[in-house]
Amino acid sequence: MFSYDGKLDSKLDAHFQCATLYTTSSGQRRVRCTNTVASVSENLLEVMRYIDQDAVVNLIAKEGRSRLPSTLVHLLNWFLAATRMSERPLKDIRNALTEKTIDILAGHRRVSSGSHPPGQLVLPENLKEFAIYNLCLLKSRAFKAGHEPSDRRTHAMRFLKSASPLELSLFLYPRIIPLHSLPDNSCFPDPETGHLIVPESIRASFGRIEDGGAYLVDDGQICLLWLHEHVSPNLLEDLFGPGANNLADLDPSLSALPVLKTHLNAQVRNLMAYWSSVRGSKALTLQLARQGFDGAEFEFARL
């Protein structure tokens, strides 16, 4: 984050350059330069029209995280002494994130009030999910209220510091695919374009989870295969092969699906291969979350 106090000319572009000096694994010293160009505008509505929602959420998360190092001592004292004074810094940060969200949306409402009746909710076209992402941020382990193990909260803090905009957006609102209701043509290449037909995700809410369902969940960090306790034995056999008739028959240490000739097995493997290709440097490893069996089920509930 930086500020510029000079006057910008809206007729000219603004140029940004960032240089990073680093050492490679072979001991070479290198400089990596990143350049970008942005238009200058005095019209707030024009800025809102081209705003990047993922980038805004990422900046707000990093700003909130930057206030946490001084709060970490209070968090540790919270676990050691359980005093109410230790909860205040985190509460202040949560309130600040909420107020910033309100200020952004209220600012847009003020400049666009001429074309909308009073009292109508007006959201920028590119920030329609902005409030949802900020609510997810408040519920993340870095900022959530209540008791949270200090090592997990610290891990979440460090992740916020290094996460890219796309990584953070997926982490805050994971994609959930219902495997028990996949269309027959999904997860296979489109005959006309050759691109993989990716099935639609459902909303990340327990209200959308069906009894007897099977769901593939990816938040960019872990990939969970959640199986309801009453999942169909036929679905288990299609995914894991003959002999897998119930949840107890599955290997809890399974990290990849077996290669089978069933239609559903090929669909899920194709989908996971696609997700792995768009994840960047992070490998995609499957983790079972059987209802009533695996501890990963609690991770699914946290998502």
pLDDT, residue 116, reads 66
CA-wise closest residue to 263 among 287, 231, 237: 237
173 close to 218: Cβ distance less than 8 angstroms: no
pLDDT, residue 32, reads 93
pLDDT, residue 145, reads 79
pLDDT, residue 81, reads 37
Q: How many CB atoms lie within 10 A of CB 193?
A: 8
pLDDT in tens, the chain (303 residues): 667 788 888 888 889 898 999 999 899 999 999 998 988 888 877 888 888 888 888 888 888 777 654 444 444 443 333 333 334 577 888 888 888 888 888 777 777 766 666 666 777 788 888 888 888 888 888 888 778 788 888 888 888 888 888 888 888 888 898 988 888 888 898 888 888 888 888 888 877 888 888 899 888 888 888 888 888 888 888 888 888 888 888 888 888 888 888 898 899 989 988 888 887 657 788 888 888 887 777 777 776
Q: Which amino acid is at 292?
A: G
Beta partners for residue 218, in sequence order: 175, 223
229 close to 247: Cβ distance less than 8 angstroms: yes
Alpha-carbon gap, residue 232 to 227, rounded angstroms: 10
pLDDT, residue 115, reads 65
40 close to 12: Cβ distance less than 8 angstroms: yes
DSSP assigned state of 3: -
CA-wise closest residue to 197 among 266, 126, 114, 299: 266
User: Model pTM?
Assistant: 0.75
Beta partners for residue 176, in sequence order: 202, 217
pLDDT, residue 206, reads 79
Beta partners for residue 223, in sequence order: 218, 286
